[in-house]
Amino acid sequence: MEEKVLDVKNLSIDFHTSRGCVKAVDRVSFDVKRGEVFALVGESGCGKSTTAMGIMQLIRSPGIISGGEVVFGGRDLLKLSREEMTGVRGRDIGMIFQNPLDSLNPVYTIGAQMTEGLLVEKMDKKQAWQVARDMLRDVKISDVEQRMKSFPHEISGGMRQRVMIGMMLCRNPKLLIADEPTTALDVTIQAGIIELMNELRRKFNSAVLIITHDFGIVADIADRVGVMYAGNLIETADVMTIFDRPRHPYTRLLMKALPTITKDEGRLETIKGTVPNLAEERPGCNFADRCPYAMQKCREQKPEWKECEPGHFCACFLEEGGTARE
């Protein structure tokens, strides 16, 4: 059995608002193994970023983690004290976000920010500078000496994201969480970042949890995929299975909504309706109102999270009865 770096079990995150309790993440379970890229994919508001923030314990009021476990390195992160968690962030788990300009401090040089984490670990100043410089080379930045002295506004968006990746990898984390790392970038720059991430994960063999709405990125980099909808994880499987034999109706419809054809070849499939209001308590499946295969049962009961074939999990009643495939 491969080593599980991260094991999320029944993680639930609620937001208490004036309009009721929003179950932004509802009993989500998945794991990420060593050297593996796990992609959490879904549309906006499905809870994928909230899940990542929950793992990092960066959920702010009115949100609270209402249940579950986040097992990392043999301990449950949810049980750690604030100080202990601060030690985990950055050192054991690195995280990069969509907009690198928001993550970088505008008044410090790249070099100062790259070495900050290393200096915290009592590394010698000179040595830290060297480690950071070599890391910038690893993330394919040219003119490293010059760049170490640059400020974030002096470099391009693609380069900033490379700096962020380098900064995280400097401390050799066991897990890297990347929340929409290329969404703000041009496709040509995105392709370079994806290539870089693919190369680095081989080199450092760290586990990567990537969060994206783009199935193209999933196809390009993921080993395993989890699809989320309205706070629930609805399907996980390895990437080939998700693309070849998706089981959940939502996954199947979403795949068909991707513009992969020309207008002369036909029309894109659409999903009718909109995402339900999560502040309302619903007895059945969250997708039932939009699902073309919905049965009476779907509106009355929540489908269970079940392994429908080895390594392929799905939460749908269709799988249990084995009826209505297409």
Binding region for other proteins (CB under 8 A) = 43-44, 156, 158, 186-188, 190-192, 194-195, 213-220, 222, 239-240, 243, 253-254, 257-263, 267-271, 274
Q: Which is nearer to other proteins, 71 or 255 (CB)?
A: 255
In the complex, what is the shortest distance from the CB of residue 262 to other proteins, in angstroms, rounded to a whole number? 6
Q: Which is nearer to other proteins, 155 or 207 (CB)?
A: 155
Strands 4-17 and 63-72: antiparallel
Say if residues 185 and 161 touch (Cβ distance below 8 Å). yes
In the complex, what is the shortest distance from the CB of residue 72 to other proteins, in angstroms, rounded to a whole number? 27
Strands 37-41 and 175-179: unpaired
Q: Which is nearer to other proteins, 11 or 200 (CB)?
A: 200
In the complex, what is the shortest distance from the CB of residue 247 to other proteins, in angstroms, rounded to a whole number? 17
Cβ within 8 Å of residue 276, ≥6 positions away: 230, 282, 286, 289
Sheet holding 75-76, edge to edge: 20-33, 4-17, 63-72, 75-76
Q: Which is nearer to other proteins, 83 or 143 (CB)?
A: 143
In the complex, what is the shortest distance from the CB of residue 253 to other proteins, in angstroms, rounded to a whole number? 7
The vertex-143 CA angle with 138 and 144, nearest 5°, equals 50
In the complex, what is the shortest distance from the CB of residue 28 to other proteins, in angstroms, rounded to a whole number? 20
b (16+ CB within 10 A) / e for 142-164: eebeebbebebeebeebbbbbbb
Q: Which is nearer to other proteins, 169 or 239 (CB)?
A: 239
In the complex, what is the shortest distance from the CB of residue 285 to other proteins, in angstroms, rounded to a whole number? 17
Q: Which residue spans within 34-170 are E strands per DSSP?
A: 37-41, 63-72, 75-76, 93-96
Tokens of 1: 């059995």
Q: Which is nearer to other proteins, 40 or 254 (CB)?
A: 254
Amino acid (one-letter) located at 322:
G
In the complex, what is the shortest distance from the CB of residue 79 to other proteins, in angstroms, rounded to a whole number? 35
How would DSSP label each residue in 142-187? SSHHHHHT--GGGS-HHHHHHHHHHHHHTT--SEEEEESTTTTS-H
Cis amide bond preceding 62, omega within 30? yes
Q: Which is nearer to other proteins, 128 or 242 (CB)?
A: 242
